[in-house]
Structure 1
Amino acid sequence: MVYPDNFENKIGFDRIRSQVKALCVTQGAVDKLFEAAFSDDYESVVARLGQVFEMRTVLMMDNGLPEGSFVDMDAFLKKGAVEGSFLDVGELAALRKGLAMVHGLVAFFNARTDEQYPQLRALCSGVDGFPEIINHIDSIVDKFGKVRDNASAELFSLRRTIRDRESQVSRRLQQIMGQAQASGIVDGDVSVSIREGRAVIPVAAANKKKIKGLIHDESATGKTVYIEPIEVVELNNELKALEYEERREVVRILTRFTDAIRPDLPRIRESGDFLTTMDFIRAKARFALANDCTLPIVENRSSIRLIRARHTLLAQTLRREGKEIVPLDLTLTDDKHILVISGPNAGGKSVCLKTVGLLQYMLQKGFLVSVSENSEMGIFKDIFIDIGDEQSIENDLSTYSSHLLNMKNILRSAGERSLILIDEFGTGTEPIIGGAIAEALLEKFEQRHCFGVITTHYSNLKYYASNARGIQNGAMTFDVQNIRPLFRLEMGKPGSSFAVEIARKIGLPEEIIRSASEKAGSDHINIERQLREIARDRRYWEQKRDKIRQAEKRVDELSEKYQSELETLKAERSRLLREAKAEARQITAEANKQIENTIRVIRESQADKEKTLEVRRKMEEFKETLEQDSAGDEAIDRKIEQIRRREQRRAERRNRKPETGSATPAPPPEKPRIVEPGVKVRIKGQDAVGEVVSVSGKRATVGFGQILTTLDAERLEPISNAEYKKAVRNERSAPVPVTNYSTAERRLQFTQQIDVRGMRVSEALQATQDFVDEAIMLGFSEIRILHGKGTGALKEEIRNYLRAVDLVKSARDEHEELGGAGITVVKLDL
């Protein structure tokens, strides 16, 4: 059940359907589009989604799909089913195109493996392309849509006779015209004309009695008449009779053909229905490609886990304006099946609600949806919505009465397989009783285990949600510093309306704001303040967490790099030591022989014993030196073990959960508020720090080490002296490669496009990061990243990174003729 009747208009599905309608070729496909029903049958929904997803893959990846015509065959096939009727030549040509397209589609999908397109292959099962009928039509009608001369022996004979008669008429007319021109009756520049299917001669009105014949027409001025000479009247009459006979023969041929295929018409109509079905699926697949829609994980139960969900229509609008939509992450499970969203006005609460409703409805109507592929969506039996102002003068209903009537109808049918969407729950009447009724309804929805997304400003609903077992709060985030909504949903906590901050931003007098705060009471103001502080602290720690994650990532990469280098060094050192030891043993053996020989000689010659001892001592020292080289292996082993232990401790710290009730973190060091000479600054979105030397208007000259750079002051972020010293220490401790870098020369050599196709995701992200950093440093305001289309995973990771860079103004697909979704065009705010 879908409630109310205008549900599709409320969530915008009517506009989605209009766009898909424009992509349909046949009227039969349009009829199927409007007949497609909301389904709660899991197998049916999965089959329809699979068909569209497979067709999307074909359009995107496979170039072999037939490019023939999608034809509506139903109308003329119904006509052909009547005894005594026949299909005309145009209908025969359309039937041939349709059957050829059916035959091509069936052959295309049957030629693929079962694993490639199983749903579409199943759709082709039992469908006949009727190649024998196509051949029969080809024997009757040529490629120009004309009946062939050899369609029958009688037609061939008739047309040959007609051509002979036409030649006779033409020759006789030319003779008569030549005589008339020689006599001056007809002008020398005129030629034979055709009037009412008869060959005639244009004659001046003054000379019309000089040529015997029938007048068929005259010019608009009356100065020229068109005469059929009496000598060719009989020939023309015979020619006309032959043409009538030719037409009757064509009708006989078409009637025989129609009679021949009439027994097969039911099966041909099935093939025609298959063709319009494929046209319908193709239209939905083309819409999915144009709007980045895909197939999520569909489960045979009631649940929702949306990852990077986008409202399709809103995404289209923002794309036309060159803006990026903020994706939605939302989860409803058996444990937490109702979400109560609060937050500021115009912060995106209603968009979240409509996004859930639109995507769930599209899914159960057989449309792919704008989510990440790893999203999970279940099947609901009912979808109810209460949104907007529905007061009715005719029915004597106020806005609040209409809301209560909707609640009554929803309560009548809602159950554990129902999805309820309510916007501004409880509003429209006196707040206390309105909030109380809304809380009672929310309690009933929870008891019935309904799934739902509800938006509200009422504090009592936030409190109830925080204590209820099956309900959770959600907040639309808000930038407290800049007083602007961020349009991002955070699960698990209520949101503040930020009414005071918004009122102050738009310029409401301060005394009005103070008076309102006093009237609202300290308890309410304190609660709002606590919610704002929670939002502020959460945002602060999110930024902190992101920085820590990035730092740990860099540390892990360096650690992996050093470990790899140490392993390589160890292997190389071991190899060299083995070779050296082998050589040393050989040298030692030879030396020992020599020494023994020397000692033997000395003894035999009764030489000094001290001399002998000295020779032996030097030899032992040499051997010890060789043995000490092996100690290098042990030192390398100890270094590698230290790195492994350090990584293990870091992993344990990451996995260790913070203790609840921990002390509030100390506030960050106080920072300067404005950019002025002597202030320490950082370029926004980068790690480089420096000191402001001078400020001229909106431009500032900053010293970064030994380099002076002039750039917009808006790009600079003041920092404390402690942060500056820490950043400088980190820069000094890091290994600095010695380079001879010329900015002007590098700018001339810089290419504004990078190709990351074929790279692993980590490699592509690192290359993109370096590319973007260099473009920012060199002052390029637009760059292009060539990542290809593929599965879209690499593009999504690159877009995620670009969203985290403050100086990235926008990231969009390239124009279709220049590469489309395979290229991301990045505009930098420089």
Structure 2
Amino acid sequence: MNLSPDGAADKIGLSRVRARLVELTESEPAARRAERLSYSSDTKKIVLDLKVIGELQGCLAFDDPIPYTPNADLSPILDLARPEGAALNTELILEVYHAERTTRLLHSFLVSRSEKFPSVAARWASLEPDKGLETAIERVFDDEGRVRDDASPELQRIRRDLLKTRQNLRNRIAAALSSAIEAGVAADEQPTIRSGRMVIPVLSSGKKRVTGFIHDVSSTGQTVYIEPQDCLDLNNQIRELEAAEKREIDEIRKLLTNLIRDRSDSISSNGELLIQFDLSLSIAKLGNELDATAPRINQEGIVRIVNGRNPELLLVYRARERKKSVVPLNLEIGDSFHTLVISGPNAGGKSVAMKSIGLMTAMLGMGIPVPVNEESTFCLFDDILVDIGDEQSMDDDLSTYSSHLENLKMMLKDAGANSLVLIDEAGTGTDPDEGSALARAVLESLTARKTRTVVTTHHGSLKVFANDSDGVANGSMSFDVNTLKPTFEFRQDVPGASYATEIATRVGLPDDVIQRARELVGTERVQLEALISSLEESNRVLDAQIHETEATLRQAEKDREQLTERLRSLQEGKEEIQKRAIEEADEIVGEANRVVEKVIREIRESQADSRRTRDARADLEKARDHLADDRVRLERRIKSRAGAKRKSGSPVGAFKMEDAGALKKGDQVLLDDGRAVGEILSLKGKEASIAFGDLQTRVLISRLTKVGEAAEQQVIVRQTVDSSPVLPLTTLTKRIDVRGLRVDEAISRVVAHVDQASVASLDRIEILHGKGTGALREAIQDFLPTLDSVSKIEQAPWNEGGAGVTFVYLSE
């Protein structure tokens, strides 16, 4: 990708985003990669990259901590290990060990979550854990990085001899010092080390009375440090053993280096994958900081930003710990037109809106998600060509304009149909008429090439050009004429007034100066600005009405879905009642059969005569037939009632009301053939106020069904809910929140919710218990299987709460 000219990354805000990305990396190699992260217009690659980053964002937000720790660049280490006979030092060997351990833990983590995060698992599927190398290094070094005594049998023998010899030396030195003190030639001090050998401090005046080798003299000359004669051999043995220890450790390090050399290819591959993971993880962290997502990527040159927020502004506010919100941007270019002319007041957000397009496009080309709604779509252009002035870096107007012309020259040379061009304050820096004419000529050329071009301007002639030309559209930043302040909201297809005199009034310029300025501008210009201002205000009011209408439509659709679901649940509940009633009848008959057989068995055991047995059996057969007939009649009765219900729309023991004449206060009614019985509180016209438990609502009388006599009412309730309290279906939500409750309180709430959900024929509910220490989750998940109505429980997917939510599936 060509991002031009030099310094364009700073101009659109990409440098700040990159700097934050570098801060979020955990290793030096990954930080260097982040600094050099380049743009790609390969749509297929970027779509896959963004999918991987999206899964990592979810993993960071909802899963357990990722077992990744930063690692050194392994390439230089492997280069040192390559020569035969090489022996890496302890620090470098441990760097390899840490990388191998991270490889194993990360590989295990990703494999166990391959269903949750398939793209992430696939991206790092080629990680090759080498437990053998990891174990070999662990056997040599302890947790502090010291070589273990049992790293080899020879080292163990050497260190055992060293320990014994040093103890013998300490005993001899202690005896020699004690003798010197008794002889009055040594102070009451401790033995010490000089030149790597153990010595005793002796007064200079008595040095001839101690036989041995002088190794050092104190700075005052009052004390000499002597190695006693009978300690020379032990000190020599220690020096020899220490040299042998070093040689053995070198041999051990050579052996480990050989193992590393033999596995250098897989170690190098793992190291590269770990660097890539570090970089991707930092991108995911940045995405979560920005509340960013991956929009759709198209190849048609369309940019449609829905509720986008400028990433640089978000980072600036974050760094300054400011809670100021960024006004969302909704903008489109590239479908029905290729050139967008943005106008409006100074400091109203024109440049920020234009930069947002370039910055977000560049970020997506680097595989970084952007803070927009998922309905947004972007194109990965081959070039992003920028002309954004920086007055503080210019010496005078001539240099500013010259730089502007150089950028326009570059754009006219390089821009094509798959280029994005950003021009800030087009036509400035020279005579206004000539400047606007030149700007128009440039825009005509770019539009003819179908280059996607965004310009900001105050020139009225460019607004007219946008209004009158094919492939060009106006846009503006809104301004509140009541407060004389910009709202920073973008208006598509509407040119914007500059509000120069209005802003000057707010700043406090004298009224006579303001009035004179308006006179000099001219009546037509003032009228044009007033017309644009009026149009902006009308659009603002219309947008508010549109948003309100859309919200109403969304709520209506939500209500429709809830009613459809309720109707389905009611139908399933009716069928379940029929099924249970028949099963009850079967159970009654079955129990009767068991009683019959028991009586016959008892008669036989009592050795009754055959006639008595025949009579008893005949009586019992009659009882059995009678019960079977009852079962058939019950089944027919249920079926006939179900048929009557289908025809009349009313349940057993109830009839439909079309007006208030047949209803009165206190009547028991059903709503929409539901199973929850409510009580009429009052009647008014065609509406009734109904109480369902603690819930009160007003409904049309035509939706009510009057329940019959009390006995029949009781039958309905018994068949429907056993002993659980009846709640209106519309008041029952699938999710219950028990966070912050004690275990006993939470379980009590859960039991009640499960009962109500079972009555409402819900197939699944969700328990929001949070993650915390996991104690509440474990208690709830241990208890749920004890409930008869629970068929299965499982943890929610990461994108629906993960370990903080439990899904409970209810029996049919």
The alignment's TM-score, normalised by the length of structure 1, stands at: 0.65
Question: Residue 131 of structure 2 corresponds to which residue in structure 1?
Answer: 131
Seen in structure 2, the aligned counterparts of structure 1 residues 270 and 632 have a Cα distance that, compared at 3 Å, is closer
Corresponding letter in the other structure for 1:445: L
Question: Residue 416 of structure 1 corresponds to which residue in structure 2?
Answer: 417
Seen in structure 2, the aligned counterparts of structure 1 residues 545 and 307 have a Cα distance that, compared at 3 Å, is closer
Question: Residue 471 of structure 2 corresponds to which residue in structure 1?
Answer: 470
Counterpart of 1:65 in 2: which secondary structure?
coil
Corresponding letter in the other structure for 2:493: G
Counterpart of 1:473 in 2: which secondary structure?
strand
- Structure 1 stretches of 5 or more lacking a match? 569-628, 640-733, 738-755, 761-785, 790-821, 823-830
Deviation at 1:256, TM superposition (A): 2.6
Question: Residue 87 of structure 1 corresponds to which residue in structure 2?
Answer: 88
Deviation at 1:217, TM superposition (A): 3.9
Question: Residue 167 of structure 2 corresponds to which residue in structure 1?
Answer: 167
Q: Distance in 1 between matches of 2:240 and 2:431?
A: 90
Q: Distance in 2 between matches of 1:631 and 1:35?
A: 77
Corresponding letter in the other structure for 1:264: R
**Contact 1:427 / 1:434 at 8 angstroms: preserved in 2?**
yes
Deviation at 1:140, TM superposition (A): 2.3
Counterpart of 2:22 in 1: which secondary structure?
helix
Q: Distance in 2 between matches of 1:637 and 1:552?
A: 35
Residue 635 (str. 1) matches residue 635 (str. 2): no
Seen in structure 2, the aligned counterparts of structure 1 residues 253 and 788 have a Cα distance that, compared at 3 Å, is closer
Deviations 1:513-570 (A, max 9, x none): 222212211111110111111123333444556667778999999999999999x9xx
**Contact 2:139 / 2:148 at 8 angstroms: preserved in 1?**
yes
**Contact 1:71 / 1:97 at 8 angstroms: preserved in 2?**
no
**Contact 2:70 / 2:278 at 8 angstroms: preserved in 1?**
no
Corresponding letter in the other structure for 1:418: S
Q: Percent identity?
A: 34
**Contact 1:40 / 1:364 at 8 angstroms: preserved in 2?**
yes
**Contact 1:391 / 1:397 at 8 angstroms: preserved in 2?**
no
Deviation at 1:68, TM superposition (A): 4.3
Question: Residue 673 of structure 2 corresponds to which residue in structure 1?
Answer: none
Q: Distance in 2 between matches of 1:167 and 1:347?
A: 83
**Contact 1:347 / 1:486 at 8 angstroms: preserved in 2?**
yes
Corresponding letter in the other structure for 2:490: L
Question: Residue 196 of structure 1 corresponds to which residue in structure 2?
Answer: 195
Q: Distance in 2 between matches of 1:551 and 1:49?
A: 34
Q: Distance in 2 between matches of 1:399 and 1:482?
A: 34
- Listed as ranges, the matches of 1:36-47 within 5 Å are 36-47=37-48
Counterpart of 1:420 in 2: which secondary structure?
strand
Seen in structure 2, the aligned counterparts of structure 1 residues 171 and 492 have a Cα distance that, compared at 3 Å, is same
Deviation at 1:36, TM superposition (A): 2.2
Question: Residue 263 of structure 1 corresponds to which residue in structure 2?
Answer: 262
**Contact 2:476 / 2:492 at 8 angstroms: preserved in 1?**
yes
**Contact 2:180 / 2:202 at 8 angstroms: preserved in 1?**
no
Question: Residue 728 of structure 2 corresponds to which residue in structure 1?
Answer: none
**Contact 2:3 / 2:9 at 8 angstroms: preserved in 1?**
no
Seen in structure 2, the aligned counterparts of structure 1 residues 395 and 193 have a Cα distance that, compared at 3 Å, is farther
Counterpart of 2:488 in 1: which secondary structure?
strand
Corresponding letter in the other structure for 1:175: A
Q: Distance in 2 between matches of 1:438 and 1:106?
A: 57
Question: Residue 318 of structure 1 corresponds to which residue in structure 2?
Answer: 317
The worse-fitting range, judged by mean Cα deviation, of 328-337 and 312-321 is 312-321
Question: Residue 9 of structure 2 corresponds to which residue in structure 1?
Answer: 8
Counterpart of 1:486 in 2: which secondary structure?
strand
Q: Distance in 2 between matches of 1:529 and 1:223?
A: 102
Deviation at 1:111, TM superposition (A): 2.5
Deviations 1:618-658 (A, max 9, x none): xxxxxxxxxxx99972337999xxxxxxxxxxxxxxxxxxx
Residue 337 (str. 1) matches residue 361 (str. 2): no
Q: Distance in 1 between matches of 2:253 and 2:223?
A: 42
Deviations 1:285-326 (A, max 9, x none): 122222222222223442211122112221233342221111
**Contact 1:201 / 1:226 at 8 angstroms: preserved in 2?**
yes
Q: Distance in 1 between matches of 2:39 and 2:556?
A: 52
Residue 228 (str. 1) matches residue 227 (str. 2): yes
Counterpart of 2:278 in 1: which secondary structure?
helix
Seen in structure 2, the aligned counterparts of structure 1 residues 426 and 217 have a Cα distance that, compared at 3 Å, is farther
Seen in structure 2, the aligned counterparts of structure 1 residues 257 and 559 have a Cα distance that, compared at 3 Å, is closer
Question: Residue 71 of structure 2 corresponds to which residue in structure 1?
Answer: 70
Corresponding residue pairs, total: 594
Q: Distance in 2 between matches of 1:507 and 1:259?
A: 80
Q: Distance in 1 between matches of 2:235 and 2:561?
A: 97
Counterpart of 1:306 in 2: which secondary structure?
strand
Deviation at 1:30, TM superposition (A): 1.8
Deviations 1:563-591 (A, max 9, x none): 9999x9xxxxxxxxxxxxxxxxxxxxxxx
**Contact 1:757 / 1:787 at 8 angstroms: preserved in 2?**
no
Q: Distance in 2 between matches of 1:477 and 1:152?
A: 78
Counterpart of 2:658 in 1: which secondary structure?
helix
**Contact 1:301 / 1:379 at 8 angstroms: preserved in 2?**
no
Residue 283 (str. 1) matches residue 282 (str. 2): yes
Question: Residue 308 of structure 2 corresponds to which residue in structure 1?
Answer: 309
Q: Distance in 1 between matches of 2:330 and 2:500?
A: 25
**Contact 1:71 / 1:276 at 8 angstroms: preserved in 2?**
no
Deviation at 1:107, TM superposition (A): 2.0
**Contact 2:317 / 2:323 at 8 angstroms: preserved in 1?**
yes
Deviations 1:272-291 (A, max 9, x none): 11111111111221222222
The worse-fitting range, judged by mean Cα deviation, of 241-250 and 476-485 is 241-250
Deviations 1:324-371 (A, max 9, x none): 111111112321232211100011111111211111111101112122
Deviation at 1:393, TM superposition (A): 8.1
Seen in structure 2, the aligned counterparts of structure 1 residues 25 and 541 have a Cα distance that, compared at 3 Å, is closer
**Contact 1:305 / 1:376 at 8 angstroms: preserved in 2?**
yes
Question: Residue 388 of structure 2 corresponds to which residue in structure 1?
Answer: 387
Corresponding letter in the other structure for 1:633: M
Q: Distance in 1 between matches of 2:264 and 2:40?
A: 31
**Contact 1:301 / 1:380 at 8 angstroms: preserved in 2?**
no
Counterpart of 2:239 in 1: which secondary structure?
helix
- Structure 2 stretches of 5 or more lacking a match? 570-652, 664-687, 692-732, 738-767, 772-803, 805-812
Question: Residue 210 of structure 2 corresponds to which residue in structure 1?
Answer: 211
- Listed as ranges, the matches of 1:17-36 within 5 Å are 17-36=18-37
- Listed as ranges, the matches of 1:359-758 within 5 Å are 359-389=360-390, 398-543=399-544, 633-635=657-659, 758=735
Seen in structure 2, the aligned counterparts of structure 1 residues 305 and 393 have a Cα distance that, compared at 3 Å, is closer
Q: Distance in 2 between matches of 1:637 and 1:137?
A: 91
Deviation at 1:83, TM superposition (A): 2.7
Counterpart of 1:634 in 2: which secondary structure?
coil
Seen in structure 2, the aligned counterparts of structure 1 residues 217 and 323 have a Cα distance that, compared at 3 Å, is farther
Seen in structure 2, the aligned counterparts of structure 1 residues 55 and 227 have a Cα distance that, compared at 3 Å, is farther
Q: Distance in 2 between matches of 1:555 and 1:121?
A: 41
**Contact 1:297 / 1:376 at 8 angstroms: preserved in 2?**
yes
**Contact 2:194 / 2:215 at 8 angstroms: preserved in 1?**
yes
Seen in structure 2, the aligned counterparts of structure 1 residues 519 and 88 have a Cα distance that, compared at 3 Å, is same
Counterpart of 2:657 in 1: which secondary structure?
helix
**Contact 1:476 / 1:490 at 8 angstroms: preserved in 2?**
yes
The alignment's TM-score, normalised by the length of structure 2, stands at: 0.67
Deviation at 1:150, TM superposition (A): 2.6
The worse-fitting range, judged by mean Cα deviation, of 285-294 and 353-362 is 285-294
Question: Residue 273 of structure 2 corresponds to which residue in structure 1?
Answer: 274
Q: Distance in 1 between matches of 2:293 and 2:399?
A: 41
Counterpart of 2:381 in 1: which secondary structure?
coil
Deviations 1:372-392 (A, max 9, x none): 233222211111111013798
Seen in structure 2, the aligned counterparts of structure 1 residues 286 and 562 have a Cα distance that, compared at 3 Å, is closer
Counterpart of 1:339 in 2: which secondary structure?
strand
Seen in structure 2, the aligned counterparts of structure 1 residues 151 and 299 have a Cα distance that, compared at 3 Å, is same
**Contact 2:46 / 2:365 at 8 angstroms: preserved in 1?**
yes
Seen in structure 2, the aligned counterparts of structure 1 residues 111 and 558 have a Cα distance that, compared at 3 Å, is closer
Counterpart of 1:398 in 2: which secondary structure?
helix
Deviations 1:421-462 (A, max 9, x none): 111011111000100010111111111111122111011111
Counterpart of 2:355 in 1: which secondary structure?
helix
Seen in structure 2, the aligned counterparts of structure 1 residues 241 and 538 have a Cα distance that, compared at 3 Å, is same
